[in-house]
Amino acid sequence: MTVRIERDSLGEREVPADAYWGIHTLRARENFPISGTMLSAHPALVNALAAVKEAAARANGDLGLLPQARRDAIVTACRRIRAGELHEQFCVDVVQGGAGTSSNMNANEVIANAALEALGTGFGRYDIVHPIDDVNGSQSTNDVYPTAIRLAVVTGLSGLVDELANLADAFDERGAAHRTVRKIGRTQLQDAVPMTVGDELGAFAVAIREDVARLGEAVPLLLECSLGGTAIGTGVTAPAGYREAVLAHLREITGLPVVPAHHLFEASWDAGGFLHASGALRRTAVKLSKICNDLRLLASGPQAGFGELRLPPRQAGSSIMPGKVNPVIPEVVNQIAFAVMGADLTVAVAAEGGQLQLNAFEPIIAHSLLQALAWLTNGVRVLRELCVEGITADERILADRVAVSVGTVTALVPTIGYEAAAAAAHRALRTGTPIADAVAAVSGMTRAEAAELLVG
């Protein structure tokens, strides 16, 4: 393997000659063989790091800190990354010590060498474009890394919200298609009163849209960024005018209304925005899991279960039982939800574990949030496309159950009183007769009158 020699404060190391990353990334790769999940697994975070670096280069250029050619080369490198190139070069493990320094240095080195390539110069010529002096100019991991996480989470939230809105629309459509199909509702797994399948599916849509609103509330908190605060919020090494300039460029680059944190020292350690977003994701996951539990229960059987809904069959359900088909799509969403709930606990503990002026555990916060977002987004899309859009009801079973259900007698309480209604219910259960016949027997109504009131 052809190599180049790079140097840092700890000494010299050989780096693959064709690698865009350098010695700092090499040491991080050796130090953190932890999860096997590379930074490139979170493309939104890679793109966000490149956006921050581009904004910084443009601001430093505005302030006369970067010559035009060097500035343009860095900007070109960042735009390549944001276009999807070079992501494989972001190869440090997502789980790392150092409060994200390894991720920041990985970005600095890849961008520096891509800038050198744009200038027609060989990799490692840091006398021309330096990863720290130039690419990381006026910055610190303390402000770059959390800003990039915030941007990446906002990007992920946008994709999830779109998929949730589509899922809600799908439930609405299926609800409208079954708006007149009567069924018996249940409380505590016992028969309650009549409703329609449309009522049930429409309620799922409303619940999902409530979560869309809650997720949206996290975005303004995440768009308060500490960029320009450099080390612990002091702003050391950042010149006058830099903070305003870099935020203006970041707004232009991302199209997001980023605003300065109101207190840089607080912003350098506070993970409140991440906690809020994680809590909203947990809420969404819990409710989606509840909906999937209901779908599995309502579709259970097909002969010895509820059997009221039919979910689209997607694959054979057993290696031994012929004809068995399992509710695999709701099941996978349940499992995603369990992981998201666990990720929320990780975020909470990591946020609490930060000490003094910096939270060293932002890497696990970033990974937990971004993985939760990616899994939820994929799961919601799969749930809609492979399950919800194909839901139908077994109208025969539902009609038969409504006809004999004692829950329907509740509607007669204002007319015949609670005692008579209870007597009719017990009679129907004891004799197995239709509820209309039981009501007629205890109330003095004709069967036709009772049936009309029950349907109404």
Residues 3, 196: Cα–Cα separation, whole Å: 70
Q: What is the number of alpha carbons within 13 Å of residue 411 lying toward its C-beta?
A: 18
Residues 350, 99: Cα–Cα separation, whole Å: 11
Q: Is 318 one of the catalytic residues?
A: yes
Structure tokens at 201: 């599916």
Residue 195 host element (H or E) = strand 190-196
**Residue carrying the six token digits 């194909």:** 390
Nearest to 186 by CA among 398, 430, 456, 407: 407
Distances in Å between the Cα of 61 and the Cα atoms of 49, 69, 79 are: 18, 10, 16
Q: Count Cβ neighbours within 10 Å for each residue of 396-422 and write b for 16 or more, e otherwise.
A: ebbeebbebbbbbbbebeeebeeebbe
**Residue carrying the six token digits 């809105």:** 165
Residue 392 host element (H or E) = strand 392-393
CA trace torsion 17, 18, 21, 27 (10° rounding) = -40
Contacts of 394 (CB under 8 A, 6+ apart): 307, 308, 309, 310
Helix (H, G, I), strand (E, B) or coil at 44: helix
Catalytic residue, candidates 35, 318, 368, 405: 318
Contacts of 8 (CB under 8 A, 6+ apart): 23, 24, 27
Residue numbers annotated as active site: 318
